[in-house]
Amino acid sequence: MGRTAALAAGAAAGFLALLLLLIVVAAGSDDGAGAALGLPGVVCAPAGGTPGAPVAGFANDQLANASSVVAAGAEVGVPQRGQVIAVAVAMQESNLHNLSYGDRDSIGLFQQRSNWGPSVIRMDPKAAAKLFYARLLALPGWASLPLTVAAQRIQGSATPDAYAKWESKADMVVGAVLGITCQPGQLGPGQPPVANPLAAEVVRRALSQLGVPYAWGGGNASGPSRGIPGGGPEAVQAGDTGKIGFDCSGLMVYAFAGVGVTVPHQTQAIWQTFGPPITDRGQIQPGDMIMASDSGQASGIDHVGLYLGNGQVVHAPESGSTVRIVPNIWTDPWWSKHFVGAVRAHPGPRPNPT
């Protein structure tokens, strides 16, 4: 499993002071302002909106076209994730307007060229969306790819990174089309609410990176970053050096940065910084970091994941993989064998030593 780089342990006194500060900030925060922006990584419309009102800056024909794209996805059996990808692509290519012009012979919502099909089909929002979905479904492993990667492999854009900026807006627009409103503590399909708002933000940030590639040494407070040398044969074979992604603790660095908590980019340092350890599974809460060891001993800890509740963990597993959720870790052959304990870095009730 993933071993990370760069040891950066935090001082205990400074950490406790930071916890107190964050608790005060959280108590005085404006929850409504956050809700107005939607929820990162969650398909839902901002709370407080009215039917027909603009969503994420889109209105009128734009929302009608988004509805056609979502409806086409439902008709051909494309899951919600695929619908978000399609809407994000249409946002980038046409700003969700059904354009009769474009670069060379590109037309329609997706700016599809003549090799995609007859113009009458490319100018029909629902039919054009089905053309897009056909290529998406033919793309191996599309559901586990970052949105910008899946979009680029289909569209072949001259600006391949441009799709990423539309993902959160596509989440909101698809949520509006489907009638899903963001709820406080909501984390996404199948995820339970998290009572502690800071823990909920940590979980949301981690879940927003689902599908991002593993890269040894990758990840920082701003998001995925280039991997570094030193990850062993598996990392070399997978081309981790220079690849943009996360390793296991890099994902934790990013997740906790959203609430102002600095997490070391090294698993042993995480274990040592955020005590006391929690070894009683019944005390582990969403937002706690689950620590694993190949030897089964604390001295061998070399992997970390973020607990979501209901026996689920989100983590960056190993070279060649992507950020993903593991269900039922307590019965999972690997996790149940390698679990050592958990640590709590977010502000909240402290565990009793066990």
- CA 135 – CA 164 distance, rounded (Å): 19
Q: What per-residue confidence (pLDDT) applies to 311?
A: 87
Residue 223, both tokens: 């998001």
Q: What per-residue confidence (pLDDT) applies to 95?
A: 97
Domain-ending residue, one of 152, 178, 204: 178
- CA 319 – CA 24 distance, rounded (Å): 40
The answer on 265 and 148 residing in a single domain is no
Q: Is residue 255 domain-resident?
A: yes
Q: What per-residue confidence (pLDDT) applies to 119?
A: 96
Q: What per-residue confidence (pLDDT) applies to 349?
A: 53
Range of the domain at 141: 61-178
What CATH number is attached to the domain comprising 253?
Answer: 3.90.1720.10
The answer on 198 and 173 residing in a single domain is no
Which amino acid makes up residue 27? A
The answer on 135 and 159 residing in a single domain is yes
φ/ψ (deg, to 5) at 227? -65, 165
Q: Is residue 350 domain-resident?
A: no
Task: Note down pLDDT in tens along the chain; length 354 residues.
Answer: 343 333 233 333 333 232 322 322 232 222 222 323 565 556 778 877 777 789 989 999 999 999 999 999 999 998 888 999 999 999 999 999 999 999 899 999 999 999 999 999 999 999 999 999 999 999 988 876 778 888 999 999 888 778 888 888 898 899 899 887 775 545 555 455 566 788 888 988 898 888 888 999 999 998 899 999 988 888 888 888 888 899 999 999 999 998 889 999 999 999 999 978 999 998 999 999 999 998 889 999 999 999 988 888 999 999 888 888 888 899 888 998 999 999 998 665 555 544
Q: Is residue 337 domain-resident?
A: yes
Cα–Cα distance list, 59 to 52, 126, 298 (Å) = 8, 18, 54
Q: Is residue 349 domain-resident?
A: no
The answer on 251 and 207 residing in a single domain is yes
Q: What per-residue confidence (pLDDT) applies to 327?
A: 82
Q: Is residue 27 domain-resident?
A: no
Which amino acid makes up residue 152? Q
The answer on 167 and 207 residing in a single domain is no
Domain-ending residue, one of 178, 207, 240: 178
The answer on 320 and 206 residing in a single domain is yes
- Which three-class secondary structure string do you get for the chain? CCCCCCCCCCCHHHHHHHHHHHHHHHHCCCHHHHHCCCCCCCCCECCCCCCCCCECCECCHHHHHHHHHHHHHHHCCCCHHHHHHHHHHHHHHHCCCCCCCCCCCCECCCCECHHHCCHHHHCCHHHHHHHHHHHHHCCCCHHHCCHHHHHHHHHCCCCHHHHHHHHHHHHHHHHHHHCCECCCCCCCCCCCCCCCHHHHHHHHHHHCCCCCEECCCCCECCECEEECCCCCHHHHHHCCECCEEECHHHHHHHHHHCCCCCCCCCHHHHHHHCCCCECCHHHCCCCCEEEEECCCCHHHEEEEEEEEECCEEEECCCCCCECEEECCCCCCHHHHHHEEEEECCCCCCCCCCC
The answer on 215 and 162 residing in a single domain is no
The dihedral region occupied by 185, where left means phi > 0, alpha psi between -120 and 50, and beta the remainder, is: left
Sign of CA dihedral 144, 227, 347, 330: positive
The answer on 171 and 232 residing in a single domain is no
Q: Is residue 230 domain-resident?
A: yes
Q: Is residue 50 domain-resident?
A: no
The answer on 156 and 66 residing in a single domain is yes
Domain count across the chain: 2
**R_g (Cα) of the chain, nearest Å:** 22
Q: Is residue 86 domain-resident?
A: yes
The answer on 129 and 264 residing in a single domain is no
The answer on 219 and 106 residing in a single domain is no
Does the predicted model carry a pTM greater than 0.85? no
